[in-house]
Amino acid sequence: MLIRLLSFLLCSGALSIFAQTTRPNIVFIMTDDHARAAVSAYDTTLIHTPNIDRIGREGMIFRNACVTNSICGPSRAVLLTGKYSHINGFRDNRSRFDGAQQTFPKILRANGYYTAMIGKWHLATEPTGFDYWNVLIGQGEYYNPDLIEMGDTVRIEGYATDVVTDIAIETLEKRRPRNQPFCLFVHQKAPHRNWMPDAKHFSLFDDRELPLPPTLFDDYAGRSRAASEQDMRIDDMWLGHDMKLFLREPAEETGTGGKKSWTPMGIEANLKRMTEAQRQAWEAYYRPITEAFYRDKPEGRALSIWKYQRYLKDYLRCVASVDDNVGRLLDYLEKTGQLDNTIIVYTSDQGFFLGEHGWYDKRFMYEPSLTIPLVMRFPPKIPAGTVSDALALNLDFASTFLDVAGITPPADMQGQSLVPLMRTGKAKGWRKSMYYHYYEYPYGWHDVKKHYGLRTQRYKLIHFYNDIDAWELYDLKRDPGETENRYGQRKYRRLTKKLKRELLRLQMQYRDTEAMARP
């Protein structure tokens, strides 16, 4: 009887449908510029993120997850293709993504998955490989964002983080076919600059001063020119655009803000798209801050600390909204019985400086920018409470999602599936080093020099090039804040030679011929 039933299912095609419905779903949540230090699963100093933490607590926390190129568009191209920037063609934010190339959503779609992309895309060309897409235009707006839905532009009233989550849940509820597993991208704008929080989080952190990073007033002694010649110091942030002050005169907008050729008109430009109720709430909170600033007139070191507190509190308020919406997604999946058959991944497109070295933004290969939060929940394969110290990369996402779906990753993908790490956090033969290459100089923002390098569990070697030829070496065990450049020191010479050989091996492995041609 069982044999006849199986024969019928095979002939009718019903067996393939049954198999599809038992394959795991994928929910890939990614934010923009979310520093690992702003996730309480990693560090409780600044903020509590209970919903993001839940993913890691009921699944796995990766403590050494990194990106291969710490900037928005290139990071997204890497995760889609499973290939380094020099291979996928998207090296910096001036690039345009070639949507004709192979991506893992296309492969999933060809193998029976329903694929949807919601939120921040930031790749210049329209999404391909998705059954449904609804994406923010460019960087996106925090309030009443404009989105492109399958080619049509629409403005949706509300706060962007809520809006993206609304569309994601609506897509699972109303658009996806019930007989297909799904792969859903939920990619948030937050907490990207200029950090405009939702009104319900305005007063969060008003009751305390945030601790100052030990390197907030870093003098960059002993490091290369790259550290001192950047243009991303908190000191230089704009009073209107970044600090949300209502300026008395436009000429007061004197910060460099990271791009000397672009001068914002203050916060008013952001407020024009708000509803009357939204603007009233905004004015009620930020007008008194403006009045206090002009009354107290902080200068020098006091002004730097004031800017740090203002910037970071708004940044963290944006993170709080992200965490709320992660909770909404988890609740929906649990309510609909899909939670435990769905691999849920939370990460960021790169790390971010939260005042370390006196900086905001990313780009550098230093730890706050290089490392990302990465937590996964998938009960069939990941025991609750698993922790991994293995070097994981955004390069690995494509192979991982295909592997979870039962699809062999194409041989030309350069990442490794993270599935072997899921049971215990360890895997025999796992990578001992990772490779990084950043390109956006002298074009674009923040004047961070071109550089490449490698990181092991303990050491980091960086080569800055283009209009500079400088090396930096850090011992992350003895110097986790990366303030002591060991390059050229006698006791590190043998190690330096070993690391340079490993660097060349990685460049050959990943076919970075441009870097290999440099001394």
Domain final residue pick, 293, 313, 333? 313
Q: Are residues 156 and 277 in the same domain?
A: no
Within-domain flag for 431: no
Cβ pair 461, 499 in contact under 8 A = yes
**CA 390, 396, 399, 401 torsion: positive or negative?**
positive
pLDDT at 391: 98
Within-domain flag for 441: yes
Of 94, 74, 188, whose CA–CA distance to 141 is shortest?
Answer: 188
Phi, psi of 21 (to 5 degrees): -70, -20
The CATH number assigned to the domain holding 486 equals 3.30.1120.10
Phi, psi of 502 (to 5 degrees): -65, -35
Within-domain flag for 210: no
The helix or strand, by DSSP H or E, that contains position 28, with its residue range, turns out to be strand 25-31
What is the arrangement of strands in the sheet containing 470-475, beginning at the earlier edge strand? Answer: 433-438, 450-456, 459-465, 470-475
Domain final residue pick, 357, 389, 419? 419
pLDDT at 12: 33
Q: Are residues 81 and 148 in the same domain?
A: yes
Radius of gyration of the chain from Cα atoms?
23
Domain that holds residue 329: 19-195+315-419
Please state, in angstroms and rounded to a whole number, the distance separating the CA atoms of residues 334 and 241. Answer: 40
Q: Are residues 332 and 251 in the same domain?
A: no
pLDDT at 6: 39
Q: Are residues 308 and 331 in the same domain?
A: no
Residue 376, beta-bridge partner list: 60, 345
Q: Are residues 287 and 369 in the same domain?
A: no
Domain tally, the chain: 3
Within-domain flag for 208: no
Please state, in angstroms and rounded to a whole number, the distance separating the CA atoms of residues 18 and 311. Answer: 51
CB burial readout 352-365, b (16+ within 10 A) else e: bbbbbbbbbbbbbb
pLDDT at 17: 33
8-state DSSP, 371: B
Both structure tokens of 193 = 């600059």
Q: Are residues 320 and 306 in the same domain?
A: no
SS3 61: strand
Within-domain flag for 266: yes
Phi, psi of 343 (to 5 degrees): -80, 120
User: Could you identify the residue written with the tokens 């400088």?
Assistant: 470
Please state, in angstroms and rounded to a whole number, the distance separating the CA atoms of residues 319 and 192. Answer: 10
Within-domain flag for 430: no
**CA 383, 388, 390, 394 torsion: positive or negative?**
positive
Domain final residue pick, 419, 452, 479? 419
Q: Are residues 49 and 142 in the same domain?
A: yes
Q: Are residues 278 and 344 in the same domain?
A: no
Q: Are residues 302 and 369 in the same domain?
A: no
Within-domain flag for 105: yes
Q: Which residues contact 359 (CB under 8 A, 6 or more apart)?
A: 230, 232, 233, 234, 353
Q: Are residues 335 and 300 in the same domain?
A: no
Both structure tokens of 177 = 């076919």
Q: Are residues 307 and 166 in the same domain?
A: no
pLDDT tens track, the chain, 519 positions = 444 443 433 333 333 333 334 899 999 999 999 999 999 999 999 999 999 999 999 999 999 999 999 999 999 999 999 999 999 999 999 999 999 999 999 999 999 999 999 999 999 999 999 999 999 999 999 999 999 999 999 999 999 999 999 999 999 999 999 999 999 999 999 999 999 999 999 999 999 999 999 999 999 999 999 999 999 999 999 999 999 999 887 777 766 555 555 666 678 888 999 999 999 999 999 999 999 999 999 999 999 999 999 999 999 999 999 999 999 999 999 999 999 999 999 999 999 999 999 999 999 999 999 999 999 999 999 999 999 999 999 999 999 999 999 999 999 999 999 999 999 999 999 999 999 999 999 988 999 999 999 999 999 999 999 999 999 999 999 999 999 999 999 999 999 999 999 999 999 999 999 888 776
pLDDT at 1: 45
Q: Are residues 301 and 322 in the same domain?
A: no
Within-domain flag for 223: no
The CATH number assigned to the domain holding 121 equals 3.40.720.10
Residue 461 burial (C-beta neighbours within 10 Å; 0-12, 13-18, 19+): buried
